[in-house]
């Protein structure tokens, strides 16, 4: 009897060892505000950075990604991802992070947001209070800086700001309005809930003498579908634009100012690596970006009849001729 028990125990151990050896690599789930996952530059950078750290897709890590341009679709995708049992979830944007955090209080979440605290994801950057860490982008301050730069590049009394209501909070709006008042700029803010809202918002503002367009920080407003609508509308009316992602200025915007995406995504990859190695999200402080880029499209400026001062060109990290 003892011999049979010994054999059975040995076989169970071998089976267990075999199962462990053949187990799937850890799953990193990704939730994005976008048309589809691979259209996201952040997702592509994240995969590349994790590969540089040592994670090879399919052998040492797996990815399951879902994307929805409509914020209403995020909850269903978040539920799908959670059912897959990921080791960690990356959420791109405040709304995606809020949806995932509401759906699971136990799965570690790494998120890039406009503001972790204003979005209710934590009350402390140094010691995250929920299961969410990541990078908080300082978008309220960056919106103000973009307004200042746009007014300097294209002096005008009226600026239209396009806002994603999913990433808006009162203090952010108040800060922007105070900056506009200080600059002597008449500011109109219009909410954009879907891509088709853009043309009417810009055309209506132009009729009322708003001569420049500021695109406020938001994952949704930076998707290609929305950006295409913005570009079509401003080209038709010959208006300058300021956007949040400098690398997209070559699509036809006048300028862009924002965080250095490569630096931020590398930090996000580092946090995911720490969680995959066993760290808890509340042991990983929420970070804020330290590198920012400023791009000017000189070709677009000439088409708009604008002369960009040499002092501003000298401040730019990239000038598109």
Q: How many helices (H) and strands (E) does the chain have?
A: 11, 12
Amino acid 5: pLDDT: 44
Q: Domain of 126: which CATH number?
A: 3.40.50.2300
DSSP calls for 233-274: HHHHHT--EEES-GGGGGGT-SEEEEE-HHHHHHHHHHHHHH
One domain, residues 133 and 181: no
Same domain, 200 and 88: no
Distance CA 65, CA 36 (A): 9
CA distance 135 to 45: 15
The neighbouring-strand residues paired with 190 are 162
Same domain, yes or no, for 177 and 300?
yes
pLDDT number for residue 166: 87
Based on the domain organization, do 79 and 11 belong to the same domain? Answer: yes
Same domain membership, residue 303 and residue 168? yes
Residue 186 to residue 163: CA distance in whole angstroms: 16
Question: Based on the domain organization, do 83 and 159 belong to the same domain?
Answer: no
Enumerate residue ranges in the chain where pLDDT < 70.
Answer: 1-22
Q: Do 189 and 306 belong together in one domain?
A: yes
* Structure-token pair, residue 220: 């949704």
Whether 53 and 72 map to the same domain: the answer is yes
Which H or E element spans position 184? none
Are residues 86 and 215 both part of a single domain?
no
Asked if residue 151 and residue 100 are part of one domain, the reply reads: no
Indicate if 24 and 120 belong to the same structural domain.
yes
Number of compact structural domains in the chain: 2
Contact 201, 207 (CB under 8 A): no
197 and 312 co-located in one domain: yes
Rounded Cα distance between 34 and 49, Å, is 20
- Read off the tokens for 281: 């999200």
What is the domain range of residue 301? 139-258+292-320
């Amino acid at each position: 009897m003892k011999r049979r028990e010994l054999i059975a125990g040995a076989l169970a151990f071998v089976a267990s060892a075999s199962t462990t050896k053949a187990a799937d690599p850890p799953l990193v789930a990704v939730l994005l505000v976008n048309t589809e996952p691979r259209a996201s530059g952040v997702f592509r950078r994240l995969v590349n950075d994790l590969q540089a750290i040592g994670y090879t897709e399919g052998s040492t890590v797996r990815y399951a990604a879902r994307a929805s341009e409509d914020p209403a679709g995020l909850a269903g995708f978040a539920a799908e991802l959670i059912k897959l049992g990921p080791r960690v979830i990356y959420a791109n944007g405040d709304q995606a992070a809020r949806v995932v955090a509401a759906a699971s209080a136990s799965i570690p979440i790494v998120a890039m947001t406009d503001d972790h605290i204003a979005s209710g994801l934590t009350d402390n950057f140094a010691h995250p209070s929920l299961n969410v860490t990541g990078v908080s982008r300082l978008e309220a301050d960056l919106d103000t800086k973009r307004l200042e730069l746009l007014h300097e590049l294209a002096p005008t009394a009226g600026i239209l700001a396009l806002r994603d209501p999913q990433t808006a909070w009162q203090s952010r709006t108040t800060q922007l309005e105070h900056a506009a008042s200080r600059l002597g700029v008449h500011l109109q803010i219009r909410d954009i809930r879907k891509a088709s809202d853009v043309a009417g918002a810009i055309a209506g503002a132009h009729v009322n003498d708003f001569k420049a367009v500021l695109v406020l920080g938001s994952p949704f407003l930076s998707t290609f579908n929305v950006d295409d609508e913005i570009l079509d509308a401003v080209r038709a009316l010959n208006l300058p634009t300021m956007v949040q992602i400098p690398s997209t200025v070559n699509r036809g915007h006048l300028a862009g100012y924002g965080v250095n995406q490569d630096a931020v995504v590398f930090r996000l990859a580092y946090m995911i690596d720490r969680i995959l190695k066993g760290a808890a999200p509340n042991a990983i402080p929420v970070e804020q970006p330290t590198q920012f880029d400023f791009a000017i499209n000189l070709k677009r400026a000439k088409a708009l009849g604008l002369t960009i001062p040499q002092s501003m060109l000298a401040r730019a990290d990239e000038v598109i001729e």
